[in-house]
Amino acid sequence: MLDREKAIERMNELGARRIPFFFFTDFMGSRCLIQPLGEINPSELRFALNQPGPKNQTAPSFHFKKHPLTQEQFHGPFRYVVDQINYGNSYLVNLTFRTPIETNLSLADIYELSQARYKLLYKDQFVVFSPETFVKMVDGHIYSYPMKGTIDASIADAETQILNDPKETAEHVTIVDLIRNDLSQIASEVSVSRFRFITEVKTHEKKLLQVSSEITGKLPANYHQSLGSMLFRLLPAGSISGAPKKETIHIIKTAETYDRGFYTGVCGLFDGQDLDTGVMIRFIEKEGDQLYYKSGGGITSFSDEAREYQEIIDKIYLPF
């Protein structure tokens, strides 16, 4: 693993030389693994980006049980975050928890069976199956797709409900504004090209609808030489921290009762020309013999405690 400064140097070097590589970082961007594609050991690191799911493959019989915290345990961190928002210290805080789970599937099984835009398996330590793009750098332009807002698709008029919900709208607008400002640090002509569109995520329990937007900008001519410098200026990802970012991170570190580690970090592939990265949500980590699923959601002054608690649980799923 490289520290932040070494990772920036290494990415800049590989980008300037147009050498393809894969990488992932922890939440704060303080630890990073960077591997040129020709040096990857598939017994330690496997990944797939924007690949179709397994064809004609039915998930074997499996059990999956989650042991979430109680709503009483959720109450304290939730109230702390809402109080901090009401004091004016933040507008939006992404509050996360880790949940013990039980399954007869291995991390490798979950990786193989998962259908997700960004998949990553690192040793026998963690697996990621994320639907969320962080940024793409393609042909001199940068694109970001913040994802904020989740609802059970089986609810009557679910799409209308989530698009018209004041809390969800406020949360999404805040993140879009944050990401727009973040991209403006490294790009010009930044604009919101698509605002609040719906995508569907299939899980082993239900279908979920999630709300995203698209933000675009123009990169400088020599951006390949500064891949690391630019990328790390954007960390941590705004969609899984909050706004304003610096103050909100202090709130997160007080409210959360565990170390996020690589959960909500960023992973990505540079193919020698373009860069595609994802936010490492939908994350299962192994500690000893215990598996933990890490999940969270955005809290605003409009948040309803019971709904936010349920969202934490709804996001604990397997995408097959």
Q: Is 301:83 a contact under the CB 8 Å cutoff? A: no
Q: Residue 171 phi/psi, 5° resolution?
A: -60, -45
pLDDT for 210: 87
Show the domains of the chain with their CATH numbers.
2-44+67-314 (3.60.120.10)
| Whole-number Cα distances in Å, 5 to 62, 203, 233 | 43, 38, 12
The token pair that represents 288 in the structure block: 């000893």
pLDDT for 260: 97
- Residue-by-residue pLDDT tens, the chain, 320 positions: 999 999 999 999 999 999 999 999 999 999 999 999 999 999 999 999 987 655 556 667 899 999 999 999 999 999 999 999 999 999 999 999 999 999 999 999 999 999 999 999 999 999 999 999 999 999 999 999 988 887 888 898 899 999 988 888 888 898 899 999 999 999 999 999 999 999 887 777 778 898 999 999 999 999 999 999 999 999 999 989 999 999 999 999 999 989 999 999 999 999 999 999 999 999 999 999 999 999 999 999 889 999 999 999 989 999 88
**DSSP string of 67-99, one letter each residue:** -PPPHHHHHHHHHHHHHHHHTTS-SEEEEEEEE
Q: Is 202:131 a contact under the CB 8 Å cutoff? A: no
d(CA 45, CA 24): 11
- Residues 6+ positions from 51 with CB-CB distance below 8 Å: 119
pLDDT for 53: 56
* pLDDT, tens digit (0-9, with 9 covering 90-100), for 260-281: 999 999 999 999 999 999 999 9
| Whole-number Cα distances in Å, 201 to 85, 130, 319 | 30, 10, 8
